Amino acid sequence: MSYYISPRFLDKVSVHITKNFLKLPHIKVPLILGIHGRKGEGKTFQCELIFEKMGIEPVTISGGELESPDAGDPSRLLRLRYREAAEQVRVRGQMCAVFINDFDAGAGRFDSGTQYTVNTQLVNATLMNIADNPTNVQLPGSYDETPLQRIPIIVTGNDFSTLYAPLIRDGRMEKFYWEPIREDRIAIVRGIFPEDELSQGDIVKLVDKFPQQAIDFFSALRSRIYDEQIRGFIHTLGLDGVSRRVVNSADKPPEFKKPDFSLSHLLESGRAMVAEQKRIQELRLVEEYNQFRTLNTQPSNRNPQPSNQPHLPYNPVMPPHSIGDSGPSVFQGDSQSSTTFSHGHAVSTELSLDIFEQVEKLLSGGYEIGLEYADRRRFKTGSWKSFARIDNEKEAIAAVEDCLKQHPNDYVRLLGIDPKVRRRVVETIIHRPES
């Protein structure tokens, strides 16, 4: 099975690696290449294919290795791996690279609840030092004046806006946003499904049927097709006999017939996978449980519905009693002004009643109001920009109205913030741009 390498991806990675091994006069070459983009789009796998094509055996570091109970260990590890890569070039006479997976997961700061530890500071400082002095990377407690071979560093992640800004400046890190276009997606899926399983026309239809899914969705879909045969294998042996047959068995490994890779079967399985994704997005039970704890609400009052009305989808982000029986929540502000009552006073507002009640409920509970917005691209990567933070009702209503007016084509999110612990207790999208 031959896998597809995107020409854009290949060009960016190969040029970065090669450029770092060349001595270009009066040119400052960034040592780090940061590849970022949506989850599951094949960033790591594309890098591995390129390394193999270029005959490079990278020195790999996981984002999980960038934290440790012992202060200083991750920064020392970075220096040690960098020196290992330089030694590998010297001994083998071949190019090498340091490859850090999921860098933002280990060194990023996602919100006020993410700890910024000594190790995080040291990792950022160490990488900045290596980027500025790539031929003089020393280990703690020793000094070797022999210049090292310059080794390019490639890092992958989802959201680099969570990283320390001086580290990702252009002189140190070159950025590459990876978002496969339709032609890339078709070619990559073609490599996942060989020609004897799916025709080119079926590949195109499959990709176009699930345009919002990441590349790993199609790989998981192919794996899911084998579930039927695995299930039959288990039933044939019996649950108590499976372990003896597949672990340390003297018999040859079990063989399975080719599954049904018809387009209709794939679409059926794909829709089932999408349904499971939606269930996770809609339930968000951890937020519901945290709200019962922080807002002191009772689960038994969850979204009461009159028996003669159809069941309405529960919004787990806000407290259950703030939804009421007035029908489904509509988060966009109304185009015409309306008047509502707050603490016995008439208040004129252009917001829908649902948004007004949410703001009032949070403020009356002693929470601050926050507003964030994101365009379509930033929304996909979860990269929100702050708009305002308010702690009184009059300014909060005006700020929400102002934010909705200024960002009609963006996603707008309402936050409830506990001022005592500086932690978010509510996050809900109150405006979505028209598709």
CA distance 411 to 377: 10
What is the reported pLDDT for 300? 44
Q: Residue 101 — pLDDT band, cuts 50, 70, 90? A: very high
What is the reported pLDDT for 309? 41
Q: Residue 94 — pLDDT band, cuts 50, 70, 90? A: very high
Q: Are 119 and 67 in contact (CB under 8 A)?
A: yes
What is the reported pLDDT for 290? 61
Bigger pLDDT: 27 vs 326: 27
What is the reported pLDDT for 113? 61
Mean pLDDT along residues 71-85: 93
Give me the chain's average pLDDT, please: 83
| Top mean-pLDDT range of 310-319, 336-345, 362-371 | 362-371
What is the reported pLDDT for 294? 52
What is the reported pLDDT for 372? 92
Q: Give the range among 74-83, 177-186, 188-197 with minimum mean pLDDT.
A: 188-197
The pTM of the whole model exceeds 0.85: no
CB neighbour class for 103 (10 Å; exposed up to 12, middle 13-18, buried from 19): buried
Q: Give the range among 119-128, 265-274, 335-344 with minimum mean pLDDT.
A: 335-344
Question: What are the DSSP calls for 62-91, one per residue?
Answer: EGGGG--SSTTHHHHHHHHHHHHHHHHHHH
Mean pLDDT along residues 139-165: 90
Nearest one of 151, 270, 154 to 219, comparing CA atoms: 270
Q: Residue 355 — pLDDT band, cuts 50, 70, 90? A: confident
Q: Residue 149 — pLDDT band, cuts 50, 70, 90? A: very high
Q: Residue 82 — pLDDT band, cuts 50, 70, 90? A: very high
Full set of structural domains in the chain with CATH: 7-177 (3.40.50.300), 182-283 (1.10.8.1070), 285-431 (3.30.190.10)
What is the reported pLDDT for 1? 57
Kindly tell me if the per-residue pLDDT of 171 is higher than 60: yes
What is the reported pLDDT for 333? 40
Q: Give the range among 2-16, 130-144, 147-161 with minimum mean pLDDT.
A: 130-144
CA distance 331 to 323: 12
Question: CA-CA distances (angstroms) from residue 68 to 116, 118, 140, 251, 417?
Answer: 13, 10, 17, 44, 30
Q: What is the biggest distance separating any 2 CA atoms in the chain, rounded to whole angstroms?
A: 82
Question: What are the DSSP calls for 256-315, one per residue?
Answer: -------HHHHHHHHHHHHHHHHHHHHH-HHHHHHHHHHS---GGGSS---TTSPPPPP-
Kindly tell me if the per-residue pLDDT of 135 is higher than 80: yes
Bigger pLDDT: 321 vs 14: 14
Percent of the residues in the chain that have a pLDDT greater than 90, as a whole number: 46
Percent of the residues in the chain that have a pLDDT greater than 70, as a whole number: 83
What is the reported pLDDT for 281? 76
Bigger pLDDT: 353 vs 370: 370
Mean pLDDT along residues 356-371: 87
Q: How many CA atoms lie within 13 A of 323 on its CB side?
A: 20
What is the reported pLDDT for 318? 39
Nearest one of 375, 378, 380, 8 to 185, comparing CA atoms: 8
Q: Residue 56 — pLDDT band, cuts 50, 70, 90? A: very high
What is the reported pLDDT for 314? 36
Mean pLDDT along residues 138-166: 90
Q: Residue 116 — pLDDT band, cuts 50, 70, 90? A: confident
| Top mean-pLDDT range of 5-9, 225-229, 341-345, 385-389 | 5-9
Kindly tell me if the per-residue pLDDT of 337 is higher than 50: no
271-328 residue pLDDT tens: 999 999 888 877 766 666 665 555 554 444 444 444 444 443 334 343 333 333 333 3
CA distance 120 to 126: 10
Mean pLDDT along residues 48-75: 92
